[in-house]
Structure 1
Amino acid sequence: MSHTPTEAVQLTETLLRSMMENLQANCIWPNISNIIGGMLNRRIELADVYEEVYASLSLKPRALYMFWDVFVHAADGWNPQKNRAAREAREELVGINSGISELADRLAALLDRRDELHNHCGFSSNAHYHILDVVKDASEHNDLFQSYVKDDLDRICYQYDFKYWPALSEVVQAIGMDAEMAEVTANDPATEAATESRKSGRSDFVKAFLARLDDNRVRECGFIPNSFALSDGALASLVNCGLDLAADEMVDADFIKRFRQRQRQAKKA
């Protein structure tokens, strides 16, 4: 069934308004409501995009809805500010694991030295020496532990003497080794795509958006056809409007073309 440009634009905007009204009725995702509102105010810039997307997906209503849902969530989750914050969080996580490893080495050495003094100097400090004592103290305010775990743990503790359990220093060393060997990885394809480059930029959003599209294609048990693709111009317009870029920050079709060329070259490398 053919649609005139006006029909395609109107039907797409009706879908977007419905999405926004649903968000507002449920008092969720206010940023996404603002993004949709901005899109509705930029009809002239997005009209060709609406036409293109509608022409490809109008016979698949779920795919059409999913496309716009993916887009507005990507615009909210992977704007430049959040991309920079994600990179900073990744670096912080790397630093935290390194710090845990270093502190664990120091703490394990102190625990070993304390045990040595307890055993040979004639003094003791009445401190924990059994890992299960630590577990029980740490769970003092955990009602579920107290009700369902504590008694069984006490029986196990009394059943097996100290030689069957790791020393506190060994537990700490295991924590430190785990932190030292930890590899910081993204939890989803969009996060990985948006943060893979050294510096943040507008390409981050494009990568995240396309990754989320791929994650919702038919081959991934989604609704968006595997063959669906956006033109360079359409994708550029979505970047400009989704990120609400200023006039001197806007991207064009050539930007997207170069981006895609770099992506193809990276895959070949």
Structure 2
Amino acid sequence: MGLKKDNPTVFCKGFIEWELKTYQEEKIWMSYWPVMKRMLDRADELVQVFHELIEAFGYSDTLEGYPPQNQYLWLTLEHIWTSQDYCRKDVKQARNDFKELNRLQEEMIELSEQLAGALRRETELYERTGFNKADYQSITDMVELASENNYLYNSYLSKPLKSLAIQYDWKYWPSRAAIVEVISTFERAQPAPAHLDISDQVIQGRTSDIKDFVLAFDQKFDDSVGLPKDFRFSKNGFLFGG
């Protein structure tokens, strides 16, 4: 890139300018352009940040040296301008989604157990009373009915499944109640939902703009995304110039 290597601010600013120009020419990552422009406008306020980056990784870029060391400075700068993704609005929405997912999981567990119980009770009543049901639904009947609009199922699976249903009577198949009940079994075994970008600490912690941002920002260094795992900005650097 031909960047000057005698001043951390000049070097990092030149790096950001080069990346921004590339994004603009290729018309990609447009949502990050304003952040990158603000970083350039506030370069004098980001002196501490740039100094810590150069101190940690040297005057390196992707066209020199060897990976992964030559990519750390670029990836960390990129992490800064993409960190707008950790805004309070996104975290709040993620927390609401997390609560809803947990609530739905609890509902599915409860409803599947209730339905399984109702199906078993129905079977018991028909077996010991004088009542008769016009028709009985097997597991293969359920699959057929659920897949009636599925072209691939009807083309490749329907005939073999019907053949198996004829070959093996109801004793070989699970009951409707057993099938419904395994929904509950499955859901109970699932761990808490995990967000792809926001850490569990942020999702499940108390609301705090700064704390949420710090936790989410630092978490990325621990994730497998190419960032240096042992790097952290100092408290002064983390304020990004205040």
Q: Which category of TM-score, normalised to the shorter sequence, fits these structures? A: 0.7 to 0.9
Normalising by the residue count of structure 1, what TM-score does the alignment of the two structures yield? 0.72
| Match of residue 72 from structure 1 | 81
- Does the 8 Å contact 1:140/1:146 carry over to 2? yes
- Does the 8 Å contact 2:91/2:198 carry over to 1? no
Partner AA of 2:82 in structure 1: H
| Match of residue 96 from structure 2 | 88
CA distance in 2, matches of 1:225, 1:179: 36
Alignment map for 1:155-170 (pairs within 5 Å): 155-170=163-178
CA distance in 2, matches of 1:232, 1:99: 44
> How far does the alpha carbon of each residue in 1:11-47 deviate from its partner, in whole angstroms, 9 at most, with x for none?
133244136426x614xx5433333333333333224
SS of 1:211's equivalent in the other structure is helix
- Does the 8 Å contact 2:116/2:177 carry over to 1? yes
- Does the 8 Å contact 1:12/1:50 carry over to 2? no
CA shift in 2, pair 1:134/1:47, >3 Å: same
| Match of residue 199 from structure 1 | 207
Partner AA of 1:169 in structure 2: A
| Match of residue 48 from structure 2 | 48
Taking only aligned residues, the RMSD between alpha carbons, in angstroms, comes to 2.8
| Match of residue 113 from structure 1 | 121
- Does the 8 Å contact 2:9/2:44 carry over to 1? no
Comparing 172-181 with 185-194, greater Cα deviation is found at: 185-194
Per-residue deviation, 1:216: 4.6
Per-residue deviation, 1:99: 0.8
| Match of residue 35 from structure 1 | 35
Return the match for 1:152 from 144, 157, 160.
160
Per-residue deviation, 1:96: 0.8
CA shift in 2, pair 1:72/1:150, >3 Å: farther
Comparing 106-115 with 119-128, greater Cα deviation is found at: 119-128
CA distance in 1, matches of 2:5, 2:171: 79
> How far does the alpha carbon of each residue in 1:86-145 deviate from its partner, in whole angstroms, 9 at most, with x for none?
1211111111111111111221222223334444333324352x1121112111222222
The unaligned stretches of length 5 or more in structure 1 are: 239-251, 253-269
Partner AA of 1:122 in structure 2: F
SS of 1:194's equivalent in the other structure is helix
CA distance in 2, matches of 1:106, 1:16: 57
- Does the 8 Å contact 1:102/1:176 carry over to 2? yes
Partner AA of 2:81 in structure 1: V
| Match of residue 257 from structure 1 | none
| Match of residue 20 from structure 2 | 17
- Does the 8 Å contact 2:202/2:216 carry over to 1? yes
CA distance in 2, matches of 1:163, 1:200: 57
Paired-residue identity, %: 25
